[in-house]
Structure 1
Amino acid sequence: MFVLAKLQDVVRIPPWLFDKSLNEAIAEELNRKLANRVLYSVGLCIALHDVLSLEESFILPGDGASHTKTVFRYTVFRPYVDEVLTGRIKSCSNDGVQVSLGFFDDIVIPPTSLQQPARFDEAEQVWVWEYDNGKHSLFMDPGEEVRFRVAAETFTDTTPAGPELTTADPAAPAADPAQTQQRKTPYVITATINEPGLGLLSWWSNLG
């Protein structure tokens, strides 16, 4: 679930951190910059593990901060495909089930990856497993613990882009770039529970 990613960056240390040791100041700045941030094709950054090397620091003209090229290792959340994890159901919709690990919420179980046969209960807004040919309706209520297998991962580049050229009606209102950016999710895990032993933990304790 967690891996060490070897990264490189030029770390800017502002003057008010000069009273700290270089390693301590760099660690503070790297965690401030990266913690809880998704790096494209790397994963969700959790915390700095260690600093591997530092090059000579320099100060740019007109900037009182120091700049140091740094090679370091960062603890990253990025489960491998087929890894089995346990989380809690955050919500259900016609599009599937959203699962949370507490620190990461972008885990989606599509309808086709649920225990089958399954149906969406519009009144309760939850998915239901029709166990034993419909003799038992097992509800997937929010807050319940669920065991799932990672089926795929999707990274989306959310780097802000420049204005797009368009031939649309100039009188039409322009799209808000900020709103367009907010709709993007940088890292999504697609999961499945359509296997024996997967799904709500309570199912298997009760069925056993």
Structure 2
Amino acid sequence: MHWRVILKDTVRVPPHRFGEPLEKVVMEILQQTYEGVMDKDVGMVVAITDVKEIGVGRIIMGDGASYHDVVFEALTYRPELNEVVLGEVVEVVSFGSFVRVGPLDALLHISQVMDDYVSYDEKKGALVGKETGKTLKEGDKVRARVVSVSLKRDYRGKIG
């Protein structure tokens, strides 16, 4: 599920950027620092949407940069257990398929694809039901339930 969250951090503004508008510089630094980052508490940061507050800068001896306490808004994606999600199959392998769910890829294990014996057809690059003949291939849209989540910092995480 996508969330809008308010976060706080201290941003280092390098001296060569002092002449530029502070709001623009802080926004760019936050985007470079946070977008695409996984955090176990807030999930994956999809976008920094707004800088709410920028504190007065501090200069630390030995470093010419200014440090500002900032409050900002971010759009994040955090999958919840038992959440039903819509996704697109991005890869099919012998043990299941990978489904793009928001900004993340989730594993759809071969045993959970359908109520049928499923085998991997290497020629078609698809999972095929033995009795029904139904197939699951790259590009198919699917609805799935999140049954396991493992989110770790500096790692893309795992969704099952």
Scaled to the shorter chain, the TM-score interval is 0.7 to 0.9
> Could you tell me the TM-score, scaled by structure 2's length?
0.84
Q: Provide, for residues 50-108 of structure 1, a one-character-per-residue CA deviation record: whole Å limited to 9, x for no partner.
A: 2333332111222221111122221111233333332221112233210124x634211
Q: 1:149 aligns with which of 127, 145, 160?
A: 145
Q: Provide, for residues 112-132 of structure 1, a one-character-per-residue CA deviation record: whole Å limited to 9, x for no partner.
A: 3221213122433422234xx
Query: What code does the residue aligned with 1:33 have?
Result: T
Residue segments in structure 1 that go unaligned for 5+ positions in a row: 159-184, 191-208
Percent of paired sites with the same residue: 25
Q: Which has the higher helix share?
A: 1
**CA–CA distance in structure 1, aligned partners of residues 153 and 35 of structure 2:** 18
Mapped pair 1:112 → 2:111? yes
User: Which residue does 2:135 correspond to in 1?
Assistant: 139
Mapped pair 1:71 → 2:71? yes
Q: Which has the higher strand share?
A: 2
User: Whose RCO is larger (CA < 8 A, sep 6+)?
Assistant: 2
**CA–CA distance in structure 2, aligned partners of residues 126 and 73 of structure 1:** 41
Deviation of 1:2 after TM superposition, in Å, equals 1.2
Aligned residues: 159
Query: What code does the residue aligned with 1:58 have?
Result: R
| Segment drifting more, 11-20 vs 23-32 | 11-20
Distance 1:121 1:110, change over 3 A: closer
**CA–CA distance in structure 1, aligned partners of residues 109 and 151 of structure 2:** 17
| Match runs of 1:42-191 below 5 Å | 42-101=42-101, 104-124=103-123, 125-130=125-130, 134=131, 136-158=132-154, 185-190=155-160
Deviation of 1:142 after TM superposition, in Å, equals 1.0
Query: What code does the residue aligned with 1:146 have?
Result: V
**CA–CA distance in structure 1, aligned partners of residues 103 and 47 of structure 2:** 14
Whichever of the two has the greater Rg, that structure is 1
Deviation of 1:27 after TM superposition, in Å, equals 1.1
Q: Match of 1:100, SS?
A: strand
> Could you tell me the TM-score, scaled by structure 1's length?
0.67
User: Which residue does 2:30 correspond to in 1?
Assistant: 30
**CA–CA distance in structure 1, aligned partners of residues 57 and 22 of structure 2:** 10
Query: What code does the residue aligned with 2:105 have?
Result: D
8 A contact 1:98–1:105 mirrored in 2 = no
Query: What code does the residue aligned with 2:139 have?
Result: G
Residue segments in structure 2 that go unaligned for 5+ positions in a row: none
